[in-house]
Amino acid sequence: MSSESLSNTESSRTDSTQCVECDTSDSATDSLNSLIDGITDKNCVEDCMEVKCSLADECTACEDPVKKGSKSICCNAVSQCVWGVLLLLISIGGFIFTPLDLMLWEKLNMRPGFPPYEWWADPPDEVKLRVYVFNVTNHERFLSGLDEKMDVREIGPVVYLEKLIHSNIHFNENSTLTYTARRYPIFLPGENSIDLNATLVVPNLAILGIASYLHDANYLVRTGFRLLVNSHGSKLFVKKTIYEYLWEYREPVLDTSKSLVPGLVPVSNMGMLARIYSDFTDDVTVKVGHQWGDRSFFQIDEFRGHPQLPGYDPDVCPDRLYGSTEGVMYQQRLTKQDILLYWRKTVCKVMPLYFDEEITVDNVPVYRYNLSESVFERTSNGTDCYDTVPSLPPGLSDGSKCYFDFPMVVSYPHFYTGHPPKDAYVTGLQPDRFKHNSYVVVEPLTGTPFHSVARMQSNLRIHELSGFSYEYQKFSNLVLPLFWAEYNQEGLPPHISKTIYFMTVILPPVSYLVLTLTFLTGSYFLAKHLYIHQLSNETVNALLHFKSKNTSKSDCKSLKYENEIFIKPLTVSR
């Protein structure tokens, strides 16, 4: 073999050895490409790119090295870590303060333009007023002494829509809201089967009321009153149409008495509903805002500019309007231990309602609170604001302070609680707890009333009339039922009930699902990049160790191989 041929063989073996060594190092040389000199094999560079892609999970950007600088921000490791932290913070904050909490928190402000304010400012026409009157069936037998008691028969209902208007709305600096509430009834012909022109026989309220007011007056005053009644030919029982009894109850003796003694007879029309709605425009101040919180939300702070009951001396009567509402809204986050305080001027008393049961209305879980059946009982602690002199029997509450000191007393319809006994004063009453009790159904989280029924009876309290003639004395110490009324909020408009349904039934589980997915997504982003970062560090350390070991072995093998070739004797073929 010639020397030229030997030289080519040695060169070929050397190149072959180097290529083999490169192949054996495989992907280990890829991550340390900048540290390896003399390796320019194209396959090795391609292997390097593939390994980098698998580590960073960014193959689409790695496949083309030219696009490495134009990675989308969603694939960027730093961006994904930031998003992971944000999502975790959002989910944790959402579990602590849920979307429903945010909505209830916002409702406390009652901001104009938001649904809670708009629903309250323009309340839906959902309250029906049903009025029942009493007709005396034996007035002649009673006056003649044949019957000891009057017998009455209930007639009704006469149905009205009670319209409520809120105006003059003003937000005060002390986190209260002042407004004017006006109520008036609208007759509903389509819902009435009672003929308003039908005739009733009823006690003459004008004569008996004034006589009861003058029961302890001196003889000259009582005599003058009897002469006045006789001059007008007034009777102790009168015939009135249902409409007159409710709206146009007028007597000649009223006009004369009003002109003679205006303080004794401030009005000339004693129609039942006419008296109630003649002065049903009230200035009310309620508590709103975060300062008061859920427990005091929309509770009355002042009524007609005062915190106490209208007409009552605050030094004598300790009862206040504090904590009560008009029933349009109640406090938020109600519990079964809460006592709802309801204020209605026609009753002239703050009335407590207690939890009864949990039910479902329009697919919404709600609480039913019943009016206490002992609300009109007498108290023995010396602070009974609703008693008179002489004292009223249990089951009756003085309402004269809200009716120009006219001797009106309030009770449950038909005396259904047994206090006083149903036949104590008249016969013919038919008490029924289901028909005559009062209650409210409230969604506990928002304090929104879904349904409420308030039923009260107005009665004429007649004092001892022994100073008058025999006919008058037959009415002594009687409590005569005049009429009873039912205020019935019959549900909510669909747009309000559906919104409450979404807030309280749909929103909480959906919120927890979304927040859980948000938490898992944020955790995935962070865990993914922490794992990749750790894996990259371990791979680099392994590659550094592997490269260092293989490089030394490769160098030794190459040197040994070259040395062997160099010292090996040449055999020249002949």
Q: 242, 194 in Cβ contact below 8 A?
A: yes
Residue 197 has a CB neighbour count (10 Å cut-off) of 9
Query: What is the model's pLDDT at position 19?
Result: 38
Give 244 or 306, the one with higher predicted confidence: 244
Say how far apart CA 415 and CA 431 lie, in whole Å.
Answer: 6
Q: E strands of 407-535, at which residues?
A: 408-411, 426-427, 439-443, 448-461, 479-489
The answer to whether the beta carbons of residues 343 and 300 sit under 8 Å apart is yes
- Please report the pLDDT score of residue 318 as a whole number: 77
pLDDT score for 526: 73
* pLDDT, tens digit, 9 for 90 and up, residues 521-546: 877 777 776 766 666 666 666 666 66
Q: What's the confidence (pLDDT) of residue 73?
A: 54
- Parse the chain into domains and list their residue ranges: 3-95+513-567, 125-492
What is the pairing mode between strands 150-171 and 426-427?
Answer: parallel
Confidence of residue 562 (pLDDT cuts 50, 70, 90): low
Averaged over 124-142, what is the pLDDT? Answer: 93
pLDDT (mean) for 28-49? 44
Whole-prediction pTM value?
A: 0.77
- In the predicted model, is pLDDT for residue 38 greater than 80? no
- Label the pairing between strands 340-344 and 324-325: parallel
Question: Which residue from 364, 356, 351, 362 is spatially nearest to 454, judged by alpha carbons?
Answer: 351
Distance CA 81, CA 86 (A): 9
Ranges 3-17, 26-40, 78-92, 148-162, most confident:
148-162
Closest of 204, 202, 195 to residue 137, by C-alpha: 202
More confident residue, 172 or 21: 172
Residue that the structure tokens 């004797």 belong to? 569
As a whole-number percent, the residues of the chain with pLDDT over 70 amount to: 77
- What b-and-e string marks burial along 54-83, b requiring 16 or more CB atoms within 10 Å of the CB? ebbebeebbeeeeeeeebeeeeebeebbeb
The span from the CA of 481 to the CA of 203, in Å, is 10
Q: What's the pLDDT score for residue 572?
A: 46
pLDDT tens sequence across 204-229:
988 998 888 888 888 888 888 888 88
What pLDDT shows up at residue 219? 85
Per residue in 154-181, pLDDT tens?
A: 999 999 999 999 999 999 999 999 999 9
CA–CA distance, 312 with 398 (Å, rounded to integer): 11
| Confidence at 97, pLDDT banded by 50, 70, 90 | confident
CA dihedral 378, 382, 386, 390 (to 10 degrees): 80
* Highest-confidence segment of 94-98, 138-142, 406-410, 545-549: 138-142
Instruction: Determine the average pLDDT of the residues in 129-142.
Output: 96
The mean-pLDDT minimum among 196-205, 263-272, 412-421, 554-563 falls in 554-563
Tell me which of 243-247, 265-269, 547-551 is least confident.
Answer: 547-551
Residue that wins the pLDDT comparison between 332 and 66:
332
Query: 554 or 271: which carries more pLDDT confidence?
Result: 271
